[in-house]
Structure 1
Amino acid sequence: MKFSKILRQLKLALALLAVALTCSLPSLATNPADPSKLVRQAFEAADDGFDMAKTQNFYSGWVSEVINETLLSYDYLARPAKLVPKTVVSMPEISEGGKVFIFKIIPGIYFSSDAAFKGNKRELVAEDYVYSFKRLLDPVNRSPNASFIDGKILGMEELQNKAKKTGKFDYKHPIAGLTAIDKYTLRIELKATDYNFLYVVAYGAFGAVVQEVIEMYGEQSGLHPVGTGPYMIEKYAPRHKIVLIANPAYRGYVWDFKSSGTAWDDQLVKDMKGKNMPQVGRVEISIIEEEQSRWLAFQDQQLDIDKMPQIAAPTVLDGDKLKPSFAAQGIKMDRVTDAGITYTMFNMHDPVIGGYSKEKIALRRAIAMVYNNADEIAQMRLGQAVKAESMIPAGVVGHDKNYRSSVGYDIQLANKLLDHFSYKRGADGYRNLPDGSPLLIKKTIEPVSDRKVQAEILKRGMDQLGVRIEFATGNFADNLKAASACKLSMWGGSWMADFPDGENFMQLLYGPKAGQGNHACYESAAYDALYRNAISLPLGEERNKVYEQMNRQMEADTPWALHSSRIRSWLIRPWIKGYKKHPILHSDWAYIDVEKH
């Protein structure tokens, strides 16, 4: 090993030790969080580190929300979701037909202490957002979140093209569309009006990171996030445990949200109004992938908040209400239908199942047609889901409650489709490819009980279709990485709204994102043209009609088989106050309180 490499590793180890020592020092700052107030929660799958320039992992984003702060966020109680300032004084000044945005950063916001700052306090400034936005578009990072702003910021494309040629992104090079006018003023200019741009800058991937920290920790930055948010990482055991503690540098706020008029909101306001926040000083997150284990942990009071596992529905629910035995424990339930969808993705680069020829489309379509979504809802979800008809779920702008998918459950028609395209059956009853070679489909799943049920549902349909299928298992984080690199033939995915417009879902199949968040690796000139047209239109009926065309194009090519939108029943122990599940935000810890118990 070269001496320079050893020296770098030694410096990194010393830096991490310094941070650990810093975290153990008593806080002299104003964060009102009480270290004795603990919230224990579980994730049903592992994160992928906390560098949001490198991942779209749902659980990574959940934690990053409370570490790296975005310019804007959402009102905790308002429904539908309403944007509010976060690290800025007010909502931005907008001019030139919605192309120019001026954000005024609040002075006196500081990052948590870190060795990268060499003992100095590090203030959040406009230049930090310039760097953070540029980093998402640095070609070397291949960010799955780049498409939200790729090709939109004036002058950025030239800088990206130069980086692709030279292999180095020049972060110091000024561009017209992304500038720090002064220490606290950020100016962003777009090439064309983007009607969702403010939603985009509220998305967690656009939280501020610090160049000094990224340069110091390099590829380890995802294990060592440093931000201005209410929490910081005290302990991180990948795929096992995440412990967050209050960030001593956090400025705090006063809980002053207004009720939307529901009895639930009225109680929250009564419990929380006027409190200095955050109150929770420590959050312990366990990674518990198996539903039964997670449910046992909640029943044993090892978890304070948990999403009711589907297997527990018959035990816990009487219709859509808690059974008396659970209500008697003081447990409350916040029951919502996800602003999200589940689906199976087909890798369009795969030699067996991918491609755009008629026989390949027929194969994917037939597989989609023999999967029984009703069985999924009844057997896998135990009734805790509704069928997804389109890519855009209820609760998201662009959803059409009257839309119906053209790909329905039909075993007989699926068989006729494969017969027509010469997928002939052999002596054993299983089909071969049109050229006569053996046909074998492979799907990757996670080794948890509900995925096994889903595999059984698919296997039943595939047997009736006469197509062999094998299932490989891997954990969620590894599967996500492989899918991002277009290496999985078939995989089950899901997507929750990052902002409340259909673009957030439609971008998942946009061609330039293949290998960078488009896990089906779908590249369709027709779909891409419709996508670009849609985002050029203001929110409204005309845009929604284009979304409908995109849905139909997806069905025609079948890179996805749509499944369901899950119904979530969040169970809350009586000592947790102020809890309400938000459709966009995932981290609730800075909005809630814990009573002594």
Structure 2
Amino acid sequence: MKSKFSSLALFSTIIAFAPIGYAKTPAQADKVLRIAFEAPDDGFDMVKTFNFYSGNVADVIFERLLQYDYLANPVKLAPSTAQSMPVIKENGKVYIFKIKPGIYFTADPAFKGQRRELIAEDYVYSIKRILDPKNHSSSFAFIDQKIVGANALVEQAKQTGHFDYDAKIEGLKALDRYTLQFTLTQPDYNFPYILAYSTFGATAREVVEYYKDRLGMHPVGTGPYMLSKYVPRSKIELIANPDYRGFVWDFKSTGTAWDNQLVKEMTGKKMPQIGKVNISIIEEEQSRWLAFQSKQLDFDKLTASSIPKVLDHNNQLKPAMQTKGIRLYPNKEAEITYTMLNMRDPIIGGTSLEKVALRRAIAMSFNVDEYIRILRKGQAVKAEMLVPAGVNGHNPNYRSSIGYNPVLANKLLDHFGYKKSADGYRTLPNGKALTLKINTESGSASVMYSELWKKNLDAIGIRVDFRVSNFADNLKAATQCQYMVWSGAWHADYPEGENFTQLLYGPNVGRGNQFCYRSTAYDDLYKQAMQQPPEKRMPFYEKMSRQIEADNPLILQDTRIRNWVIQSHVQGFKAHPIMNSNWQYLDIASPRQK
């Protein structure tokens, strides 16, 4: 990725069609929020990508039926384009939503000069795009086998090579212009959380058909912001949607001092207040920290290298930071980080005993505690199971059976014929060279990560080759199973363990299953879990975690504690457990207020 703090690549700038001025929105054009992404996006068609940074932007462009209450803890859903929470029938099998009339898509050439209102059929069409096999949507797993009649249409499309967008689906109906009904194959009280996820935002069919393969660079929604300028992998500029209906900031404090201050400074304001959001892609940690220090960024996560300079031994801001008015918001993420081992790779993939032994040895060679101490500066906790804390299905007493043990790892490799050559590095059982190829990114953190991996793998005699690229390209390679080893992370899209266990579900290979892992035992457990109400799924999630420990398609690493630092003029900031974009809830103090 490139930024103004490093050499600039030659990209064409995409300028979206946008009306001039802010006709209806309360946003003020002179209030500009400046933030940074630590990795590039991959366009903004969320049906075709699950890039975390793309999702951040898509969340404020495309509106879902439901959204999250900004302050509630535990998390709570609230209406977005829906008039109210859904009417639920048949014990959680039928959901009926009424959409607010008078919501409009932003003006775009695709609408041929006509003002385009959001209607129920837009959600029907948008979900059909997720179902269409040609789109390879990672979000398909969220609704697979859940909507009556949907999978039959998917199978028909696989056989014919054509998805019929005009075909009726019994479980997905627009009853009238503003009424939408879902009928599920079985009761599912988690279903509303799925509908609050980025990919389930409303997209107009005219826009998709107008832009076709360029849709990811021309997002058109009904949300608080719209794309104004776009330099892929360098800059993103959003401006307030002039036709957005707005809302009044009226959230209830959870009783913390932080929430109390937010309520005091924000209650009653017409939102959004921010007129423009400028996003820079700044991959290098030091550059991001320098940008924050020089007030070129309004808030950011503390980089690992800056933690000792900013936080004291009690993890509080040092006096020098406090005197600048900088505030600190520590937030334990609802996430897991991991190293992925491609199960289709000819060297480390497969289910034979020697391949399992190789992956097990690699897993046992990795010193997670050292990784947290050196790379995270202690700002993380070790991940023990697939489902992290803060998500339904997590067992705080669960402990992984895979631990750091290079002595045992060496014995395991010796036993299965991975012999050491004269140079101290091992060969495959057939005598051919063994080299791990680890995909990584540029930047000081990635360099430190690579150094730690080399140290750990040297201890068990495995040679390693690091292949430096960028996040977006590595993500594409992983989705296509064209890599050997890569690190990743998954942040909760909704607060249910299914969101994490689906990452390794066999039918999701080519979508969200970047491990390229297929296991009949794991898939059977996943199917059984999905047949249970959420409160009874934990034992199945535990068994799935054990199956992963047996097969070793991944190495669980940690859950990060993100230390957000916020400039004094930013008002309303709070990191949400699920929702990643909070720009529509923020304000910037005027010079007099500062």
Q: 1:111 aligns with which of 86, 105, 112?
A: 105
SS in 2 for 1:65: helix
What is the Cα deviation at residue 24 of structure 1? 4.7
Alignment counterpart, residue 251 of structure 2, candidates 257, 278, 300: 257
Question: Alpha-carbon deviations, 1:115-157, whole Å to 9, x = none?
Answer: 1111111100000000000001101111111111122111112
User: What is the 5 A alignment of 1:510-549?
Assistant: 510-540=505-535, 542-549=536-543
Is 1:271 aligned to residue 265 of structure 2?
A: yes
Match of 1:454 among 446, 449, 452: 449
- Between 256-265 and 193-202, the greater mean CA deviation after superposition: 193-202
Deviation at 1:194, TM superposition (A): 2.5
Matching residue of 1:355: 350
Structure 1 stretch displaced more, 219-228 or 423-432: 423-432
Q: Could you tell me which of 122, 139, 147 is aligned with 1:145?
A: 139
Give yes or no for contact 2:77–2:193 (8 Å, CA) kept in 1.
yes
Q: 2:438 aligns with which of 440, 443, 460?
A: 443
Instruction: Provide Cα deviations, 1:15-40, integer angstroms capped at 9, x if missing partner.
Output: x88x53xx252343x21101111110
Structure 1 position 87 matched with structure 2 position 81: yes
Q: Which residue of 2 aligns with 1:342?
A: 337
1:507 alignment counterpart: 502
Matched position secondary structure for 2:30: strand
Cα offset, 1:428, TM superposition: 2.0
Equivalent residue number for residue 310 of structure 1: 304
1:162 paired to 2:156: yes
* Equivalent residues of 2:253, 2:260 under 8 A apart: yes
Residues 411-468 of structure 1, C-alpha deviation per residue, up to 9 Å, x if partnerless? 1010111111111112222111112222111110011111111111111111110111
Q: Is the 8 A contact 1:396 1:502 kept in 2?
A: yes
Distance in structure 2 (CA, Å) of the matches to 1:495 and 1:161: 29
Asked if the contact 2:19–2:107 (Cα under 8 Å) also holds between the matched residues in 1, the reply is no
Checking the alignment, whether the CA contact within 8 Å between 1:195 and 1:535 is kept in structure 2 is no
Q: Percent identity?
A: 57
Cα distance in 1 between the residues matched to 2:260 and 2:441: 40
- How far the C-alpha of 1:471 sits from its partner, in A, is 0.7
Is 1:40 the equivalent of 2:34?
yes
Matched, 1:210 2:204: yes
Q: Could you list the per-position Cα deviations for residues 498-531 of structure 1 after superposition, in whole angstroms to 9, with x for gaps in the alignment?
A: 0111111111111000111100011011111111
Instruction: Indicate whether 1:325 and 2:320 are aligned.
Output: yes
- Cα distance, 1:561 vs. partner? 0.2
Alpha-carbon contact 1:195-1:537 (below 8 Å) kept: no
1:55 to 49, 64, 67: 49
Q: Equivalent of 1:495, from 474, 490, 495?
A: 490
Once the two structures are superposed, the pairs formed by residues 280-429 of structure 1 within 5 Å of their partners are 280-318=274-312, 319-429=314-424
- Equivalent in 69, 86, 93 of residue 63 of structure 2: 69
> What secondary structure is seen at the aligned counterpart in 1 of 2:559?
strand
- How much does 1:543 deviate? 1.1
Quote the Cα distance in structure 2 between the aligned partners of 1:523 and 1:316.
45
Corresponding position: 1:235 with 2:229:
yes
Aligned residue type for 1:349: R
The answer to whether the Cα contact below 8 Å between 2:235 and 2:278 also exists between their aligned partners in 1 is yes
Tell me the amino acid that sits aligned with residue 150 of structure 1: D
Is the Cα contact below 8 Å between 2:32 and 2:275 reproduced in 1? yes
Structure 1 letter corresponding to 2:379: Q
Distance 1:392 1:400 in 2: 8
- Letter matched to residue 478 of structure 2: A
* Counterpart amino acid of residue 389 in structure 2: A
Q: 1:554 is matched with which residue: 548, 551, 567?
A: 548
Hey, which bits of structure 1, 4+ residues long, moved more than 2 A? Answer: 24-28
Most deviating of 427-436 and 254-263: 427-436
Q: Give the distance between the partners of 1:399 and 1:336, measured in 2 at CA.
A: 18
2:394 and 2:452 map into 1 onto residues whose CA distance is 28
Preserved contact between residue 128 and residue 211 of structure 1 (Cα < 8 Å):
yes
In the TM superposition, 1:477-492 aligns within 5 A as: 477-492=472-487
Aligned match of 2:5: none
CA RMSD of aligned residues (A): 1.2
After TM superposition, the score normalised by the length of structure 1 is: 0.95
Q: 1 CA distance for matches of 2:455 and 2:21?
A: 59
What is the CA–CA distance in structure 1 between the aligned matches of 2:309 and 2:585, rounded to whole Å?
30
Structure 2 Cα separation of the partners of residues 349 and 195 of structure 1: 36
What is the alpha-carbon distance in structure 1 between the residues aligned to residue 322 and residue 528 of structure 2?
A: 50
State the secondary structure of the residue aligned to 2:487: strand
What letter matches 2:338 in structure 1? Answer: Y
Aligned to 1:182: 176
Q: Secondary structure at the match of 1:322?
A: coil
1:397 Cα deviation from its structure 2 partner: 1.3
Matched, 1:219 2:201: no
State the partner residue of 1:4.
none
| Paired residue type of 2:498 | E
Shift of 1:249: 1.0
Q: Does 1:245 align with 2:254?
A: no
Residue of structure 1 in register with 2:7 after alignment: none
The answer to which of 544-553 and 425-434 deviates more is: 425-434
Give the TM-score taking structure 2 as reference length.
Answer: 0.96
CA gap 1:425/1:585 in 2 versus in 1, 3 angstroms: same
**What residue ranges of structure 2 are gaps of 5+ in the alignment?**
1-11
Q: Distance in 2 between matches of 1:24 and 1:205?
A: 26
* 1:557-595 per-position Cα deviation (integer Å, ceiling 9, x unaligned): 000001111110111111111110001111111001101
Q: What residue in structure 2 maps to residue 466 of structure 1?
A: 461
- 8 Å contact 2:274–2:588 — kept in the other structure? yes
Aligned twin of 1:10: none
C-alpha distance in 1 between matches for 2:416 and 2:21 = 71
Q: CA deviation at 1:384?
A: 1.5
Q: What is the distance in 1 between the residues matched to 2:495 and 2:55?
A: 17
- Once the two structures are superposed, residues 343-388 of structure 1 have per-residue CA deviations (whole angstroms, 9 ceiling, x without a partner) of 0000000000100111111100100111111111111111121111
Q: 2:570 aligns with which of 557, 572, 576?
A: 576
Number of aligned positions between the proteins? 578
Structure 1 stretches lacking a partner, 5+ long: 1-12
Question: What is the distance in 1 between the residues matched to 2:129 and 2:146?
Answer: 15
Query: What is the CA distance between 1:160 and its match in structure 2?
Result: 1.3
Check the 8 A contact 2:122/2:203 in 1, yes or no.
yes
Give 3-state SS (helix, strand or coil) of 1:566's partner. strand
1:591 to 581, 585, 594: 585
Q: Does structure 2 retain, via aligned residues, the 8 Å contact 1:508–1:517?
A: yes
2:112 partner amino acid = K
2:96 aligns with 102
Cross-structure match for 1:130: 124
